[in-house]
Homo-oligomer: A and B are copies of this chain.
Amino acid sequence: VIARLCVIGIGLIGGSLALALRRAGAVEEIIGAGRDETHLRKAVELKVIDRFELNLARAVKDADMVVLAVPLGAMQPVCAAIRDHLGASTILTDVGSAKQGVVDAVQAAFGEVPTLFVPGHPIAGTERSGVEAAFAELYRGRRVVLTPQPHTAPEAMKTVRSMWEHTGALVEEMDISHHDRVLAATSHLPHMLAFALVDSLSRLDDCDKAFRYAAGGFRDFTRIASSDPVMWRDVCLANGDAILGVMAHYRDGLKAIEDALVRRDGERLFDIFTRAKQARDRFMRLS
């Protein structure tokens, strides 16, 4: 049981973690921190947190565990603000979806990466954001990836692992660059494609009229384009190289379809679609 948990950033991810730990009886006191007082008051009303602090130094005081659940671009300033106020045994972790970027931010703020810092990433979410979107079940059965550094303290790893297990998540460890490449392929790139599609369609004439004729496939395909623009801008800035890598690979794949369309090459199209369908059906069996 964590006696005092401080979650910085009470949105979908931070709020759902607080709710899940509360329900599991895995925490005694939850302090929420952030910049927006109205938002934090709402979080208290919704019983997501016990109380809040706008001052980060006070927020982390005497905390046993501090969770950074802010957009990636806010990691470094937040770390700089809490650096001199963490207890000697306070464990620090985060939820960012691009791990090297977070480690770099922590390093820049602390001068070195603390041994009690555990980079973490719950692979879960919805297109909604804000504390109103938080729910205790978000992490049940989902994977949480921890990407420890060589000098990360084993007891910090153990505590963070245990925290996530209380939410019902499956916790795994992964090499940091492997994590960033895998997430670029399976999460960051699809978000780029969905944003690009909706943005390009929105600039067509008669866009709203066209949207009226869109079916369930379009709704599902574009769901992730409703995601938080700040969060995704920051993911792009933190994991740009890996995203560009898979994007180039994707562009080649799209070009193959385009070429086959130009040539009206039905056989080639059939082969591509069949391979994609087989891979996607395999994915569904694996997941």
Contact = CB atoms under 8 A, between A and B. Distances in A.
Interface in A217-261: 217-230, 232-234, 236-237, 240, 243-244, 246-247, 249-254, 256-258, 260-261
Contacts of A192: 254, 257
Interface stretch (A2-10, A14-22, A196-204): A196-204
Given A249-B200, A253-B197, A254-B251, A211 B233 contact: no
Interface in A170-214: 182-183, 185-187, 189-204, 206-214
A18 to B, nearest CB: 20
A141 B186 CA distance: 33
Question: Quick one: which of A183, A224, A275 has the most chain B CB within 10 A?
Answer: A224
Interface stretch (A122-130, A146-154, A157-165): A122-130
Nearest to A207: B279
B232 A198 contact: no
B204 A190 contact: no
A276 B222 CA distance: 9
Given A210-B182, A221-B224, A276-B202, A244 B258 contact: yes
A282 B240 contact: no
A84 interface: no
Contacts of A246: 200-201, 204
Contact of A284 (B196, B226, B249): B226
Given A224-B221, A225-B277, A287-B214, A204 B249 contact: yes
Interface of A is mostly: helix
Number of copies: 2
Interface in A253-287: 253-254, 256-258, 260-262, 264, 266, 269-270, 272-284, 286-287
Contacts of A182: 206, 209-210, 213
Contacts of A218: 186-187, 190, 283
B236 A198 contact: no
A274 B229 CA distance: 6
A142 B217 CA distance: 13
A276 B225 contact: yes
Contacts of A284: 219, 226
A182 B284 CA distance: 30
Interface of A: 73, 123-127, 142-143, 145, 182-183, 185-187, 189-204, 206-230, 232-234, 236-237, 240, 243-244, 246-247, 249-254, 256-258, 260-262, 264, 266, 269-270, 272-284, 286-287
Given A73-B266, A185-B210, 5 more contacts: A123-B213, A186-B210, A193-B254, A198-B276, A212-B286
